[in-house]
Amino acid sequence: MDRPIRGIRREHADRGLRESQVDPDPFKQFDAWFDEAVRAGLLEPDALALATVGRDGKPAVRMVLLKGYGPRGFVFYTNYQSRKGRELLENPHAAACLWWAELDRQVRIEGTVEKLSADESDAYFHTRPREAQLGAWASEQSSVLAGRQALEQQLKQFERRYADQPVPRPPHWGGFRIVPTAIEFWQGQPRRLHDRLRYRRQPDGTWLIERLAP
């Protein structure tokens, strides 16, 4: 029998989200919400649940960090040989969600995916802490490890290789951009009558705002 989960339901605040309150440009609306999440001091407001689908049709989801956004889309970085990397190269479509519990908000993103240019990936890689740069070389992401010691040995190998010199970006590591076809702004409301406004990209590049039932 399934274990029931009871007694942890909470009521959402009455903040509301009306069509008259949002910007006609979804990226400007996202900018406003993201800034509010940062000002509220939320833990990792850039945490993004990313869903992909492999060649076998089976979905997978995991958390990544949103590392940039703008009119072209939403950017994150990964190992191209990881499961998500392989799946995105095989099937360049993704869905993603940011959840800001303290604000009773989520943003849902759906769209196609494109690789960033080598120059864009290089520029971001060189802003990372040196330890993270070395980690990108040491980790064969998503592969099976014999144990923790094997990973630490690989890290030491690359620490020796790049001692006293800049760490180059691994050719198998870089960025992806989700180019959205739809962006939904979800605002929790009392009685589970949540406000949902979806921006849907039209053939001429403009955005249609639609209210969805909760």
The set of catalytic residues is: 192
Cα distances from 169 to residues 117, 134, 137, in angstroms, run 13, 9, 8
Structure tokens at 144: 């099976």
If residue 2 lies in a helix (H) or strand (E), which one and from where to where? none
Which 3 state secondary structure label does DSSP give 170?
coil
Cα–Cα distance for residue pair 31/206, rounded to 1 Å: 18
Residue 42: strand pairing partners: none
CB–CB of 30/105 below 8 Å?
Answer: no
Half-sphere exposure of 28 (CA within 13 A, CB side): 6
Cα–Cα distance for residue pair 85/91, rounded to 1 Å: 10
Eight-state DSSP code of residue 20: G
Cα–Cα distance for residue pair 95/183, rounded to 1 Å: 10
